[in-house]
Structure 1
Amino acid sequence: MTIDERAPEVLRYTAFSSDPAGGNPAGVVLDATGMSDDDMLAVAAELGYSESAFLTAPPEGSGAEGATHTVRYFSPRAEVPFCGHATVATAVALAERTGPGDMVFATRSGNVPVSVVEEDEVLRATLTSVVPHVEAVSDDDLAEALAALDWPAADLDPAFPPRISFAGARHLVLAATTRARLTDLAYDFARLESLMHRLDLTTVQLVWRESATVFHVRDPFPVGGVVEDPATGAAAAAFGAYARELGLVPEDALLTLHQGGDLGRPGVLTVSLRAGDPRVRVSGTAARIG
């Protein structure tokens, strides 16, 4: 199946930016009924975006009670359990057709509530992650990650211990001591991809802290067949869980993550943490491309 032949309508949106030239592009198929896994993968591969989202009605008795849609996410190479930027793009695409409001996406990682509001004539979507968790990374795996990135251990910020964090997908969080270290990203694609497959990682979340609540991030994504993801909502949720778990931010916090500027596609992700609620909320705008 190609996009131009038998596939349903494929929309193109960018997420975490109101400018089509910014943020992270995603393909969105609002009715993927009848599409096979191979069909979805073929569309995602032809688009070449880091992920595309495919919607169907949630089947009865699926364990997705309360869900308004089933959503599956495909990179150009494989299905991924959850994708934040494609979730935001999809929610805005739906809201443009039916109006702002609340919805629940049944994903492979669990049910993800999403709300869309209109602010100053701009639609803004907020997803609520599944319950996150944070785990240690072994010294050997950390050394392999640094070798693949060509980062000396001395370039890691000691205030941000390396961890693997999950909020729908697994991400290795590594913090750089300087913005220059984050800017200089030229890694061994095959070597990092091999490590990520072994650890079941979706991306590596590279972080530099500008201030108490402002961060700059980058996300290598070789397992998806993409050198770098321009704006990564799932990793933003995982980072929020990580930062709270390690006491790096308050339990109640509003964090701003800047991503994509190094690729010429600047985007802004807002991460909201609430005391007493382990889940993480990630917000952003979206815009249709073309």
Structure 2
Amino acid sequence: MRSTAPDSRAERVTRICLIHAVGHETAALLLEKSTAVDAIEALRKRAAHGGTSQQTYTSIINHRDFILNGAEAEGARFLLPGDAEWPEALNALDPTTPLGLLVRGKPSLAEATARSVAITGTNAPTQYGTDVAETLAYELADMTYSVITALISCGISHAALLSAAHGGTAQAVPVAVCSAGLHTGRGAREQSDHIVAEGGLVVSMYAQGVPTSITRQQQRQELMAHLSLGTVIVEDCAVNKRAAAAEAAGRPVFAVPGPIDSPQSNAVNRLIRDRRAYAITEARDIDQVLTHLREDSDTASQPTAGPATRTGDV
């Protein structure tokens, strides 16, 4: 497991450029046995023979200073596993742990996500879904939970993000996670500026200019699941991927029940029926479940003279 972050700026610059040029999975393979600087040197030697290596090396060299200098000019920083600000929960993603994260905003990412809940759902909600997302986000922020959502210009995530940014306390930090490069996509720059101005954070696994994709959207969901203590789903026709990401991270799934004749609520209602999610109607429901699970975990970690027994459910 990667635990020590390279200290040199050269290593950070080279790592983000390597990710930009070949993607996280290929970069991870290259970095298993060497630093990013050494990996680039190996590519340089192979580049003399032309082909793909030459194209990759040229791309990295051409973008090396541009990518990180541009990020720093925007007030972003590039975090690596092992940094003090790196959330330890992300190490559970190993061997698919992100090789680095671009983060914009003043708060510490580790501190902001230590007590956090992710809110997700459809991009085409009903008014009911929008109202519920806004209310839950505001209530959670008021209870000092940071709210983690996708950075998107519409839907449940957008409603929750804006509500969390406008409410809550100094301890509750709105965190927007991108499925593309920082400021890449419709309205991304304006949303990012607004969240940062409200004391929040914007997070991306990708360099500026990298577009979104179905794969990157799923990676974003997995990142959100691991960063948070649990995931709330409000109206969604494709709940399985969102629920599965939380389940894979060992986090509880919360679902907001909706009208039985609403297409946006049918799949969410089934999650509750199949006991894959806790039915919740307010933020206090979420807090009670998380408190109970934490107490159970604390009890289980304590040495006992005999077998422990559980006396009740939430």
Higher RCO by CA contacts (8 Å cutoff, separation 6 or greater)? 1
Task: Check whether TM > 0.5.
Answer: no
Instruction: Give 1 or 2: higher strand fraction.
Output: 1
Greater helix proportion: 2
Q: Which has the larger radius of gyration?
A: 2
Q: What is the TM-score when the length of structure 1 is the normalising length?
A: 0.31
